[in-house]
Amino acid sequence: MEFYKLIPHDTKINFVGKRSLTYAFSIVALLISIFAFFFHGLNFGIDFRGGFVVEVRMPQSQTVDLGALRDKLTKLDIGEVYLQEFGSKNDVLIRIPSSGEANDEQSKSLEKVKACLGDNVEYRKIEKIGPKVGSELVHDAIMAVIISLCAILLYIWIRFEWQFAMCGVIALAHDCIILMGLYSVCHYFEFNVNSIVALLMTACYSIHDTVVVYDRIRENMAAYRSLSVAELLNKSINETLSRTVLTSLTTVLSLFALCFFGGKVIFDFCFPILFGLMFGTFSSICLSAPLLLFTGIRVDGKDIEIGLDRI
């Protein structure tokens, strides 16, 4: 029985021939992201700008409803308050972001939260996160992303050739910069530790797809030495297109479900990952392979033969 194929196995889309359009789209997206980052900045969360962390134990007779409690605290107009259950079902972790104002104003925000919770709760810990801790976390987060990109560069260089490594990291940097642009343009999304997770997940997913395409390019370089580089790149991208699209589509459907049925907290975490995944898939198909044309690779080149010996 024949089933409908979402991506036919014999596609012959001229991705390399349309590279001018994809390059233009990427350049525009990059420019918007860079300008937004420098002129609009990021909406840093409590992890980076500081604030209060309060551990509260509710009365045993009281059922904790995080949704209702979050709505009550949001009405206090003290910024985005984060709630999290931990330990027993009556323990709640409350994160109150810094408003950037004087210490007495921040203390007033804490007092508002206490007044909203009432007198029947037990405050197990109240901790203030200062700006120094936030700046150190920003530095560590940037270093984590840079080190991961360097490690990916080194791995692809060893596994393939320097041309593949350079183009793969360019595509990765493209995805990460555009995801940062989302946080800069849409201040609805706070930039916090979850954002670092989204950046690293985007990089890992993108390079995973890119390596699949590169592996097929290397195989075809040994099998089709009569083809030009452009024809070989198109052939390799089309041969892996079904795998790339279907794998990404499966993940996208899962993330869509989490975004629209998981509530606000899940949405704030999953939507940037969904956004990064879509651009990661785009770069794996339309950027990472066509960029190889600028590196001067040859189908019958000696450097490629050395790369094939590394399998």
| DSSP track, the chain | -PPPPSS-TT----TTTTHHHHHHHHHHHHHHHHHHHHHT---B-HHHH-EEEEEEE--TTSPP-HHHHHHHHHTT-SS--EEEE-SSTTEEEEEEE--SS-HHHHHHHHHHHHHHH-SS-EEEEEEEEPHHHHHHHHHHHHHHHHHHHHHHHHHHHHHS-HHHHHHHHHHHHHHHHHHHHHHHH-TTS-BSHHHHHHHHHHHHHHHHHHHHHHHHHHHHHHH-TTS-HHHHHHHHHHHHHHHHHHHHHHHHHHHHHHHHHSHHHHHHHHHHHHHHHHHHHHHHHHTTTGGGGGGT--TT-HHHHHHHTT-
Regarding whether 200 and 275 lie in a shared domain, the answer is yes
- pLDDT per position as a tens digit, 164-215: 888 888 888 898 899 999 999 888 788 877 888 888 888 888 888 888 888 8
pLDDT at 10 over 80: no
pLDDT at 298 over 70: no
- For residues 107 and 95, give the distance between their C-alpha atoms in angstroms, rounded to a whole number: 13
Regarding whether 94 and 187 lie in a shared domain, the answer is no
User: What are the φ/ψ torsions at residue 103 (nearest 5 degrees)?
Assistant: -60, -35
Regarding whether 197 and 276 lie in a shared domain, the answer is yes
Regarding whether 262 and 223 lie in a shared domain, the answer is yes
Lowest-pLDDT range of 34-38, 102-106, 175-179, 197-201: 102-106
Residue 3 lies in a domain: no
Lowest-pLDDT range of 23-32, 204-213, 214-223, 297-306: 297-306
Instruction: Give the residue with greater pLDDT, 155 vs 300.
Output: 155
Residue 288 lies in a domain: yes
Split at pLDDT 50, 70, 90, the class of 28 is very high
Regarding whether 298 and 241 lie in a shared domain, the answer is yes
Regarding whether 28 and 116 lie in a shared domain, the answer is no
Residue 9 lies in a domain: no
Q: What are the distances in angstroms from CA 304 to CA 102, 225, 235, 258, 310?
A: 62, 11, 17, 43, 10
Work out how many domains the chain is built from and give that number: 2
Split at pLDDT 50, 70, 90, the class of 104 is low
Residue 63 lies in a domain: yes
Residue 245 lies in a domain: yes
- For residues 113 and 229, give the distance between their C-alpha atoms in angstroms, rounded to a whole number: 64
Lowest-pLDDT range of 79-88, 128-137, 231-240, 286-295: 128-137
What's the whole-number average pLDDT of the chain? 77
Residue 103 has a pLDDT of: 56
Instruction: Give the residue with greater pLDDT, 69 vs 280.
Output: 280
Instruction: Give the residue with greater pLDDT, 309 vs 119.
Output: 119
CATH of the domain at 75: 3.30.70.3400
Q: Which of 109, 129, 149 is the last residue of a domain?
A: 129
Retrieve residue 116's tokens.
Answer: 């909203």
pLDDT at 3 over 50: no
Percent share of the chain, pLDDT over 90? 6
The whole-number average pLDDT for the span 67-79 is 72
Residue 30 has a pLDDT of: 93
Residue 54 has a pLDDT of: 76
- For residues 126 and 53, give the distance between their C-alpha atoms in angstroms, rounded to a whole number: 6
Residue 265 lies in a domain: yes
Neighbours of 287 (CB within 10 A): 25
Residue 2 lies in a domain: no
User: Which range, 1-5, 75-79, 160-164, 245-249, has the best average confidence (pLDDT)?
Assistant: 245-249
Pair 303, 156: CB distance under 8 Å: no
Regarding whether 140 and 125 lie in a shared domain, the answer is no
Split at pLDDT 50, 70, 90, the class of 27 is very high
- For residues 39 and 45, give the distance between their C-alpha atoms in angstroms, rounded to a whole number: 18
* Assessment of whether the complete model's pTM goes beyond 0.85: no
pLDDT at 44 over 90: no
Residue 12 lies in a domain: no
pLDDT at 303 over 70: no
Q: Which of 129, 162, 182 is the last residue of a domain?
A: 129
Residue 193: give the domain boundaries.
19-43+133-308
Residue 236 has a pLDDT of: 87
pLDDT at 31 over 90: yes
pLDDT at 289 over 80: yes
